[in-house]
A and B are shown apart, each in its own frame.
Chain A
């Protein structure tokens, strides 16, 4: 279900963003890139999966792999349920979930207000963020779903620091 709020006022400059929160930060994803927002859910953990995988949730007869955005940011894994956004994976016609703390409203912003990532950012955030919107009250970090794809995260290796606790004598 694409969000109908993709208001296309004929000013081509505007872009409608869905705001979300993770930790203390404010983030935004273009509404056209969001397929659906699932209410509060707690994904089922998958043993041996990389740390940034929150788990799987059922979605329209498919199993949706969900990325834990807080873990990507280097925050603690949340114990309780969170909010899952269903995002498209452009080329593969697959989709994946993004687990965040909460989803806010839709804001319309001028595309020109988007600035590229500040150069002082740490490499982790550099890889995740896609620029920053200056808003009157705060900064909103722009997220590109393509950068958060589980397959891309796996390739980058930057987040692969999966937990390696003790393995029993089975190996």
Chain B
């Protein structure tokens, strides 16, 4: 295929994409002449170019379509939905022919590639319109969902390929990218600068006086170049949304639903490669929403909702990642049905179900092969579903969440990182080799001394478990898994456990040593090394050595970890279950890791025994066990000499007083648990020690946006329980920072 044809195919495909949008819009606003003109222009351009390039079949199709559109533009015919159906069919056919040209170089001459039926239909529509009769008035949008099979439908079934297939098959566009010439010029400038700097460095030597200056310049140029390349790779999420109006239109007709699609945040930028990665999961989610989420119009009316359902796609940036939500106002997911199905499939026992929260029940939907649809339709319900969505999204370092309320609708939330090329990672050493662990899978780090190892590690059969607070954490030894030489030099020292979480598994990876975290540049591996399966790539570390990047979910799977819904903890505390809440639960920031601790004084002082409070993990530097004898008092305030500074202690719960009363003063035995926290926004960070009764767990939490009438304290949902967040540190709900818990 020559350059000209390639360009033509890419341009036409883009034009057709616009035309598709216009057509679906036209269906809603049949009188909009601007839309008609835009569609006309697209078809006209295709016709002109094809004639020039000698694609007769395309030319003929485009010509007939142009004639029909001219009549439409002149007001001779009305934009009936039948007409729009025919035009959409024309669009599909044009697309199919373009695809043929792209793959084979020719437009197809087989007997199946016959367009006479379609051309005849277009001609009839045009001719029939000249004698416009009273019985074909402009139909309001989407009113004919249950119309009898029309000629256009029949023609549709004989089209070369079903529309959905064609949607997935447009490939040229995936490989080409439009970039602002300005950005390109700027990149070229920077490359020029890079070459100049290199020349100077080649003539200089490390001992030369201007060398530090040169190194600095090189650093600046690199950073700027990186930024501009990243910017060029950013694409608005809207590109992805473009195909949905048509898809929803077609789907809603096949399923007998009335659905409107809305967009929000289309301009949100996302790396091109990631855009491709979320394309399929999103398509799947929208399809699910239309087919399973939105109820048929009659049932919606009965439920007191407008008969037209809404599927909303919403994209926005949030702390270094892009969130895309698929929100529908449909029936919601019935937890009972999910659980009944789960019991039927033998995934859980009725006893387990009794103690399950709603969130845990919804987790069942991510189990491979799970489907609650009572019947399998052609569109969805085959059970190849959410598990694939989750696997796809997690593959690019993202996550998937599902929220649903009966009768109100379902929200599927995809969260993907801004870019794949550069990720923050923790560098670990094992068997004298360095490995990189993506930070997003890391929950916390634990140091275990040799002395403690024996008492804190339990063995059950072949597996080893570490006693982490109240739970048991399955362990994976990295050196054994990778068949490395065990590190003998650190026999006397301890080791680190990186607590990792991926695809619902949580496990501890035992490594010899930790190195400072780095922003690593991810490089792909050749096929032979990819086959090992445990590495998702490699990177060059700051010291110039290479390190393999561990695929966390695969590591967990290889070591025999099964995804288990986290064991439900009996909570005898002052919290209400999430499902019963009447408060509008609008999460403002998700996945904030918090340290959950027990307190007897909850918030404003009116707590009950065993209530929980939470502290954002990002605020906690260390969790220390301090002998009570080391705590000193000055001016009635408890203080601790901590690493060369004085740490003021905060003891709202009066734990220290109680302990002092229970033990004789200077009794060395008792220890107090102290969260060493740094206050937000103070530089240099000023630390404070928060005395707590007991640390319960470190867990992901969802910050809630609650008004003062509901509760004056900031709230967070942890393990499905509403928990009060420590008010002084509430604003620190950001990414989980690297923590060390000793």
Contact = CB atoms under 8 A, between A and B. Distances in A.
Residue among A46, A49, A154 with max Cβ neighbours from chain B (10 Å):
A46
Interface residues of B, number: 34
Contacts of B525: 56, 63, 65
A58 interface: yes
A123 interface: no
A165 B483 contact: yes
A68 to B, nearest CB: 13
Given A58-B540, A63-B538, A169-B462, A154 B548 contact: no
Contact of B480 (A44, A94, A167): A167
A57 B532 CA distance: 18
Interface string B605-639: 00000000000000000000000000000000000
Given A46-B535, A56-B529, A65-B528, A170 B546 contact: no
A93 interface: no
A134 B481 CA distance: 48
A170 B526 CA distance: 26
Contacts of B463: 169
A65 B482 contact: no
A48 B534 CA distance: 9
Interface in B425-483: 431, 433, 462-464, 476-477, 479-483
A131 interface: no
Interface string B506-550: 000000000000000001111111011011011010000111100
Contacts of B531: 154
A93 to B, nearest CB: 12
Interface string A31-52: 0000000000000111111100
A39 to B, nearest CB: 15
Interface string B553-575: 00000111000000000000000
A12 interface: no
A76 interface: no
A44 B546 CA distance: 6
Given A63-B538, A154-B531, A46 B548 contact: yes
Contact of A168 (B477, B529, B540): B477
Contact of A167 (B483, B532, B547): B483
Contacts of B558: 170
B532 A48 contact: yes
Interface in A85-116: 94, 96
B177 interface: no
A84 to B, nearest CB: 13
B528 A150 contact: yes
Interface string B405-441: 0000000000000000000000000010100000000
Nearest to B530: A65
Nearest to B535: A46
A49 B454 CA distance: 33
A70 B378 CA distance: 56
B484 interface: yes
A63 B560 contact: no
A171 B529 CA distance: 20
A165 B486 CA distance: 13
A150 B530 CA distance: 12
B462 A47 contact: no
A46 B532 contact: yes
Nearest to B479: A168
Nearest to A66: B526
Contact of A170 (B535, B540, B559): B559
Contacts of A156: none
A119 interface: no
Contacts of A47: 431, 433, 482-484, 532, 534, 548
B529 A65 contact: yes
A57 B483 contact: no
B477 A170 contact: yes
A53 B538 CA distance: 15
Given A46-B535, A167-B483, A63 B433 contact: no
Contacts of B479: 168
A62 B537 CA distance: 11
A75 to B, nearest CB: 21
A161 B625 CA distance: 52
A56 B537 CA distance: 11
B433 A65 contact: no
A163 B485 CA distance: 13
Contacts of A49: 528-529, 532
A170 B476 contact: yes
A170 B433 contact: no
A171 B534 contact: no
A48 B483 contact: yes
Contacts of A150: 526-528
Nearest to A61: B523
A169 B481 CA distance: 9
Given A47-B548, A56-B538, A151-B527, A171 B477 contact: no
Contacts of A45: 433
Nearest to B435: A47
A123 B482 CA distance: 31
Nearest to A163: B483
Nearest to A62: B523
A154 B481 contact: no
B206 to A, nearest CB: 20
A44 B548 CA distance: 9
A170 B548 contact: no
Contact of B481 (A53, A57, A165, A168): A168
Nearest to B537: A63
Contacts of B476: 170
Contacts of B547: 44
Nearest to B555: A170
Given A56-B538, A165-B483, A170-B480, A50 B560 contact: no
Contacts of B523: 61-63
A7 to B, nearest CB: 29
Contact of B560 (A44, A56, A96, A171): A171
A37 B481 CA distance: 35
A53 B540 contact: no
Given A58-B546, A168-B480, A63 B524 contact: yes
Interface in B254-273: none
Interface string A132-171: 0000000000000000001101100000000101011111
A61 B521 CA distance: 10
30 contacts: A44-B545, A44-B546, A44-B547, A45-B433, A46-B529, A46-B535, A47-B431, A47-B433, A48-B482, A48-B532, A48-B534, A53-B528, A62-B523, A63-B523, A63-B526, A65-B529, A150-B527, A150-B528, A151-B527, A163-B483, A168-B480, A169-B464, A170-B476, A170-B480, A170-B481, A170-B558, A170-B559, A170-B560, A171-B559, A171-B560
Given A46-B532, A170-B560, 19 more contacts: A44-B545, A44-B546, A46-B535, A46-B548, A47-B483, A47-B484, A48-B482, A48-B483, A48-B534, A49-B528, A49-B532, A57-B546, A65-B526, A151-B526, A154-B528, A154-B531, A169-B480, A170-B559, A171-B559
Closest 6 CB pairs of A and B: A168-B480, A47-B482, A44-B546, A65-B526, A150-B528, A169-B462
